[in-house]
């Protein structure tokens, strides 16, 4: 079997798995609250991991590395901006939303 055929098989398998998880999760949701805020059952550390996973993605790291590679040390300032923005999201957005009790 060629490398291209194996790649296509893995791609189709990942798509099928993703769609299967999506269909299963859609059946678990009863209303919009259970979809958007997981029925209020998410703990603080789980929400922190979700925010970190969204923000500290591979795209961020690759973008910073590319910026440093292209512009030198001044590209490093971009990484400082990412860190400051991450703290702003955690302290000024995520915590007050959680304390409202609605999310």
Please state the domain extents for the chain.
1-30, 41-103
Tokens 């860190």 locate to: 83
pLDDT given at position 4: 93
State pTM to two decimals.
0.46
Longest dimension (CA), the chain: 56
Rounded CA gap, 73 and 48, in Å?
Answer: 30
Do the Cβ atoms of 82 and 88 come closer than 8 Å? no
User: What is the pLDDT tens value at each position of the chain, 103 positions in all?
Assistant: 888 999 999 999 999 999 999 999 888 887 877 777 777 777 878 877 887 777 777 777 788 888 889 998 888 888 788 778 878 877 887 778 777 776 5
Helix/strand number for the chain, H first, E second:
6, 0
Angle, helices 58-71/76-88, rounded to nearest 10 degrees: 150
Rounded CA gap, 19 and 59, in Å?
Answer: 24
pLDDT given at position 23: 93
Do the Cβ atoms of 75 and 67 come closer than 8 Å? yes
The closest alpha carbon to 51, from 86, 82, 19, 20, belongs to 86
């Amino acid at each position: 079997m060629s490398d291209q055929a194996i790649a296509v098989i893995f791609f189709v398998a990942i798509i099928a798995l993703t769609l299967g998880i999506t269909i299963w999760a859609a059946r678990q949701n009863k209303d919009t609250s259970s979809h958007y805020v997981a029925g209020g059952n998410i703990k603080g550390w789980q929400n922190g991991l979700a925010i970190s996973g969204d923000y500290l993605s591979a795209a961020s790291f690759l973008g910073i590395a590319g910026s440093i590679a292209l512009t030198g040390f001044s590209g490093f300032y971009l990484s400082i901006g990412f860190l400051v923005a991450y703290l702003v999201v955690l302290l000024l957005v995520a915590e007050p939303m959680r304390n409202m009790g609605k999310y």
